[in-house]
Amino acid sequence: MDLGNHPTVESHSDGTVLTSAPQDTPVDRATAAARRVLEALLLTDRANANLERVAEELNGIAEHLEQHAPEVRERMVDMWSGEGVTRHDPVTGPENAIAPPLVLAGMADGSVRGEVTLTIPYQGPPGCVHGGVSALLLDHTLGVANAWAGKDGMTAQLNVRYHRPTPLFRPLTVQGRQESVDGRKIHTIGSITADGEVCVSVEGLFIDKKVPRPR
């Protein structure tokens, strides 16, 4: 992936925020509202909430947004025009309603980490985080760890070990760190912990390969 001028541990200080934290802008506020709707739809009383009206109003909002959408190609160029920090990805993107969003910071020891509390939309087993969601968070976190270390690539393998159920509604620490680079092969590890206990750990193999940004 071409990440542009992504901050690295060599050039930036301990605690540098590596993702685009939600801001008080119309797009971030609208996306936060959409995230709230996703959760409310799952929590609401199916028998008594006026879901016919909800569907009508949400379709009206979607139509308004679609009427103002440029060509996808044009929008893709715009999406990738930043300086290495994406606002649209499904893990950290403040402009993506399916992102929790996770905010990651780079540490002086080369690791990256962030805290997030996941709720009902991310549920797998009752009260627990879906295993695919954990893998998603960790894949992205390892990618950010690679960028922070100064050498990144595409995920070739992700070996995920689920040690214990990952709880919903409790603060989770997500971290990653690049372990070694061997030619084009990049080895990176990470984990999700809750209350100091490892719930999920991963070992990733990344291959140094650039996917050009749309222009």
Total interface residues for ligand CO8 by CB under 6 A = 15
Toward ligand CO8, which CB reaches closer, 28 or 203?
203
φ/ψ of residue 162, rounded to 5: -100, 105
143 binds ligand CO8 (CB under 6 A): yes
Toward ligand CO8, which CB reaches closer, 143 or 190?
143
| Binding region for ligand CO8 (CB under 6 A) out of 26-34, 62-70, 147-155, 187-195 | 147-155
The residue within the footprint of ligand CO8, chosen from 17, 30, 34, 154 (CB under 6 A), is 154
Measure the CA–CA gap between 11 and 8, rounded to whole angstroms: 5
Residue environment code for 147-159, b if the CB has 16+ CB neighbours within 10 A, otherwise e: bbbeebbebeebe
Here's the x/- map for ligand CO8, 166-185, by CB under 6 A: it reads as: ------------------xx
The residue within the footprint of ligand CO8, chosen from 16, 119, 123, 155 (CB under 6 A), is 155
Q: Strands of 16-17's sheet, edge to edge?
A: 16-17, 105-106, 111-117, 171-182, 185-194, 197-207, 154-162
Closest among 188, 185, 187, 167 to 177, alpha carbons compared: 188
144 binds ligand CO8 (CB under 6 A): yes
Q: Nearest approach, Cβ of 187 to ligand CO8 (angstroms)?
A: 11
